[in-house]
Copies of this chain bind each other. A is one copy, B any other.
Amino acid sequence: MTALPGRPKGDSDTRARLIHAARCLFVAQPYTKVSTRLLASHAGTNAAMIRYYFVDKAGLFESMIKETFGPLLEQMRQILSQPGELKIAELFTRYYQVMGPHPDLPKLMLRSMLDPQSTENRLVARVFAEFMQGAIQLIGQSLQQPQHLQQGVDAQLARLSLIGLAVFPFIAPPQTLRSQGIELSPEFLTRLAQHNQRLVSQGIFKTASPES
Protein backbone atom coordinates (compact mmCIF):
# COMPACT_ATOMS: atom_id res chain seq x y z
CA MET A 1 0.00 0.00 0.00
CA THR A 2 2.64 2.51 1.05
CA ALA A 3 4.67 3.61 -1.91
CA LEU A 4 8.32 2.76 -2.04
CA PRO A 5 10.95 5.44 -1.61
CA GLY A 6 12.21 7.11 -4.73
CA ARG A 7 10.77 9.26 -7.45
CA PRO A 8 7.42 7.99 -8.70
CA LYS A 9 6.58 7.63 -12.39
CA GLY A 10 4.71 10.34 -14.26
CA ASP A 11 4.10 13.95 -13.38
CA SER A 12 3.81 15.03 -9.78
CA ASP A 13 0.96 17.04 -8.32
CA THR A 14 2.22 16.76 -4.78
CA ARG A 15 2.86 20.48 -4.49
CA ALA A 16 -0.67 21.32 -5.56
CA ARG A 17 -2.11 18.74 -3.18
CA LEU A 18 -0.15 20.26 -0.29
CA ILE A 19 -1.45 23.73 -1.12
CA HIS A 20 -4.97 22.36 -1.24
CA ALA A 21 -4.60 20.59 2.09
CA ALA A 22 -3.17 23.78 3.60
CA ARG A 23 -6.14 25.80 2.38
CA CYS A 24 -8.62 23.34 3.87
CA LEU A 25 -6.88 22.84 7.19
CA PHE A 26 -5.64 26.34 7.98
CA VAL A 27 -9.14 27.69 7.41
CA ALA A 28 -10.72 25.13 9.73
CA GLN A 29 -8.16 25.17 12.55
CA PRO A 30 -5.67 27.54 14.12
CA TYR A 31 -2.12 27.43 12.76
CA THR A 32 -0.61 25.57 15.71
CA LYS A 33 -3.20 22.84 15.63
CA VAL A 34 -2.39 21.97 12.04
CA SER A 35 0.69 19.76 12.21
CA THR A 36 2.97 19.09 9.27
CA ARG A 37 2.13 15.41 9.55
CA LEU A 38 -1.59 16.17 9.31
CA LEU A 39 -1.00 18.37 6.29
CA ALA A 40 1.06 15.67 4.63
CA SER A 41 -1.37 12.86 5.30
CA HIS A 42 -4.22 15.03 4.03
CA ALA A 43 -2.25 15.53 0.85
CA GLY A 44 -1.43 11.83 0.68
CA THR A 45 2.29 12.37 1.01
CA ASN A 46 5.19 12.59 3.42
CA ALA A 47 5.84 15.48 5.78
CA ALA A 48 9.33 15.86 4.35
CA MET A 49 7.77 17.05 1.09
CA ILE A 50 6.84 20.28 2.84
CA ARG A 51 10.52 20.96 3.28
CA TYR A 52 11.19 19.96 -0.31
CA TYR A 53 8.65 22.33 -1.87
CA PHE A 54 8.25 25.08 0.73
CA VAL A 55 11.26 24.85 3.07
CA ASP A 56 9.01 25.32 6.09
CA LYS A 57 5.55 24.88 7.49
CA ALA A 58 5.46 28.68 7.45
CA GLY A 59 6.58 28.62 3.82
CA LEU A 60 3.69 26.37 2.87
CA PHE A 61 1.30 28.69 4.68
CA GLU A 62 2.77 31.70 2.92
CA SER A 63 2.52 30.13 -0.52
CA MET A 64 -1.05 29.08 0.15
CA ILE A 65 -2.02 32.60 1.16
CA LYS A 66 -0.35 34.22 -1.82
CA GLU A 67 -1.71 31.80 -4.39
CA THR A 68 -5.18 32.04 -2.90
CA PHE A 69 -5.41 35.80 -2.64
CA GLY A 70 -3.43 36.78 -5.70
CA PRO A 71 -6.40 36.50 -8.08
CA LEU A 72 -8.61 38.30 -5.58
CA LEU A 73 -6.25 41.26 -5.34
CA GLU A 74 -6.22 41.41 -9.12
CA GLN A 75 -10.00 41.73 -9.14
CA MET A 76 -9.81 44.45 -6.53
CA ARG A 77 -7.28 46.40 -8.58
CA GLN A 78 -9.50 46.23 -11.63
CA ILE A 79 -12.50 47.52 -9.72
CA LEU A 80 -10.44 50.37 -8.26
CA SER A 81 -8.96 51.29 -11.64
CA GLN A 82 -12.36 51.79 -13.19
CA PRO A 83 -12.99 55.51 -13.39
CA GLY A 84 -16.06 57.19 -12.01
CA GLU A 85 -17.75 57.17 -8.69
CA LEU A 86 -19.03 53.89 -7.33
CA LYS A 87 -22.61 53.99 -6.15
CA ILE A 88 -23.42 52.43 -2.83
CA ALA A 89 -25.77 49.98 -4.52
CA GLU A 90 -23.01 48.66 -6.76
CA LEU A 91 -20.61 48.50 -3.84
CA PHE A 92 -22.47 45.71 -2.07
CA THR A 93 -23.23 43.84 -5.25
CA ARG A 94 -19.59 43.89 -6.34
CA TYR A 95 -18.41 42.90 -2.92
CA TYR A 96 -20.55 39.82 -2.76
CA GLN A 97 -19.69 38.94 -6.34
CA VAL A 98 -16.01 38.96 -5.46
CA MET A 99 -16.27 37.27 -2.08
CA GLY A 100 -19.03 34.80 -2.91
CA PRO A 101 -16.74 32.20 -4.51
CA HIS A 102 -14.30 32.47 -1.58
CA PRO A 103 -16.35 32.10 1.59
CA ASP A 104 -13.28 30.92 3.52
CA LEU A 105 -11.27 34.07 3.11
CA PRO A 106 -12.96 36.14 5.80
CA LYS A 107 -12.20 33.38 8.24
CA LEU A 108 -8.51 33.56 7.47
CA MET A 109 -8.64 37.31 7.86
CA LEU A 110 -10.39 36.91 11.13
CA ARG A 111 -7.77 34.51 12.44
CA SER A 112 -5.08 37.02 11.61
CA MET A 113 -7.07 39.68 13.41
CA LEU A 114 -7.43 37.60 16.54
CA ASP A 115 -3.75 36.73 16.78
CA PRO A 116 -1.87 39.66 15.28
CA GLN A 117 1.41 38.92 17.08
CA SER A 118 2.22 35.66 15.38
CA THR A 119 4.54 35.82 12.40
CA GLU A 120 2.32 33.78 10.11
CA ASN A 121 -0.56 36.18 10.68
CA ARG A 122 1.58 39.23 10.13
CA LEU A 123 2.05 37.81 6.66
CA VAL A 124 -1.69 37.45 6.21
CA ALA A 125 -2.15 40.99 7.40
CA ARG A 126 0.42 42.24 4.90
CA VAL A 127 -1.11 40.33 2.00
CA PHE A 128 -4.54 41.56 3.00
CA ALA A 129 -3.45 45.13 3.51
CA GLU A 130 -3.97 46.04 -0.12
CA PHE A 131 -7.32 44.32 -0.18
CA MET A 132 -8.51 46.11 2.93
CA GLN A 133 -7.16 49.44 1.73
CA GLY A 134 -9.06 48.94 -1.49
CA ALA A 135 -12.26 48.13 0.36
CA ILE A 136 -11.93 51.13 2.63
CA GLN A 137 -11.15 53.29 -0.37
CA LEU A 138 -14.30 52.08 -2.11
CA ILE A 139 -16.36 52.75 0.96
CA GLY A 140 -14.69 56.10 1.36
CA GLN A 141 -15.67 57.04 -2.17
CA SER A 142 -19.25 56.79 -1.11
CA LEU A 143 -18.87 58.22 2.35
CA GLN A 144 -16.25 60.90 2.46
CA GLN A 145 -18.40 63.43 0.73
CA PRO A 146 -20.59 64.70 3.56
CA GLN A 147 -23.24 65.89 1.16
CA HIS A 148 -24.15 62.26 0.57
CA LEU A 149 -24.90 61.66 4.20
CA GLN A 150 -28.07 62.46 5.98
CA GLN A 151 -27.81 65.28 8.42
CA GLY A 152 -26.26 64.31 11.73
CA VAL A 153 -24.73 61.05 10.52
CA ASP A 154 -21.12 60.48 11.53
CA ALA A 155 -18.99 59.31 8.59
CA GLN A 156 -16.76 57.30 10.89
CA LEU A 157 -19.66 55.34 12.33
CA ALA A 158 -21.17 54.93 8.90
CA ARG A 159 -17.96 53.31 7.67
CA LEU A 160 -18.00 50.93 10.60
CA SER A 161 -21.58 50.00 9.83
CA LEU A 162 -20.83 49.24 6.20
CA ILE A 163 -17.91 47.00 7.06
CA GLY A 164 -19.88 45.18 9.74
CA LEU A 165 -22.83 44.57 7.45
CA ALA A 166 -20.59 43.30 4.69
CA VAL A 167 -18.25 41.08 6.65
CA PHE A 168 -20.42 39.54 9.31
CA PRO A 169 -22.36 37.06 7.16
CA PHE A 170 -19.09 35.41 6.22
CA ILE A 171 -17.70 35.11 9.71
CA ALA A 172 -20.89 34.07 11.44
CA PRO A 173 -20.83 30.40 12.38
CA PRO A 174 -22.62 28.27 9.80
CA GLN A 175 -24.64 26.78 12.64
CA THR A 176 -26.02 30.16 13.62
CA LEU A 177 -26.84 30.94 10.01
CA ARG A 178 -28.49 27.57 9.48
CA SER A 179 -30.59 28.03 12.61
CA GLN A 180 -31.89 31.16 10.93
CA GLY A 181 -32.53 29.21 7.74
CA ILE A 182 -29.68 30.93 5.96
CA GLU A 183 -27.32 29.34 3.46
CA LEU A 184 -24.60 31.30 1.74
CA SER A 185 -25.75 30.57 -1.80
CA PRO A 186 -25.26 32.99 -4.70
CA GLU A 187 -28.98 33.73 -4.61
CA PHE A 188 -28.81 34.57 -0.93
CA LEU A 189 -25.86 36.87 -1.47
CA THR A 190 -27.80 38.68 -4.17
CA ARG A 191 -30.71 39.19 -1.79
CA LEU A 192 -28.30 40.25 0.94
CA ALA A 193 -26.71 42.85 -1.31
CA GLN A 194 -30.11 44.31 -2.09
CA HIS A 195 -31.10 44.26 1.55
CA ASN A 196 -27.93 45.99 2.73
CA GLN A 197 -28.20 48.54 -0.02
CA ARG A 198 -31.74 49.32 1.04
CA LEU A 199 -30.75 49.46 4.70
CA VAL A 200 -28.00 52.00 4.26
CA SER A 201 -29.59 54.01 1.47
CA GLN A 202 -32.67 54.65 3.52
CA GLY A 203 -30.93 54.87 6.84
CA ILE A 204 -27.67 56.60 6.21
CA PHE A 205 -27.77 58.25 2.85
CA LYS A 206 -30.00 60.94 1.57
CA THR A 207 -32.69 59.38 -0.49
CA ALA A 208 -32.34 60.84 -3.95
CA SER A 209 -35.82 62.24 -3.84
CA PRO A 210 -37.31 62.56 -7.33
CA GLU A 211 -38.41 66.13 -6.73
CA SER A 212 -35.59 68.23 -5.37
Chain A residues close to B by CB (< 8 Å) = 28-33, 107, 110-111, 113-118, 132, 150, 152-154, 156-161, 163-165, 167-169, 171-173, 175-177, 180-182, 191-192, 195-196, 198-204
Contacts and interface: CB of A to CB of B under 8 A. Distances in A.
Count chain B CB atoms within 10 A of each CB in A115, A180, A195, A198 and give the residue with the most: A195
A124 to B, nearest CB: 11
A122 B169 CA distance: 21
From DSSP, what is the main secondary structure of chain A's interface residues?
helix
B160 A180 contact: yes
Contacts of A175: 116
A161 B28 contact: no
26 contacts: A29-B118, A30-B30, A30-B33, A30-B114, A33-B115, A107-B114, A110-B114, A111-B114, A113-B171, A116-B175, A153-B198, A156-B182, A159-B180, A160-B172, A160-B182, A161-B195, A161-B196, A164-B172, A165-B165, A167-B168, A171-B171, A198-B203, A199-B203, A201-B203, A202-B202, A203-B204
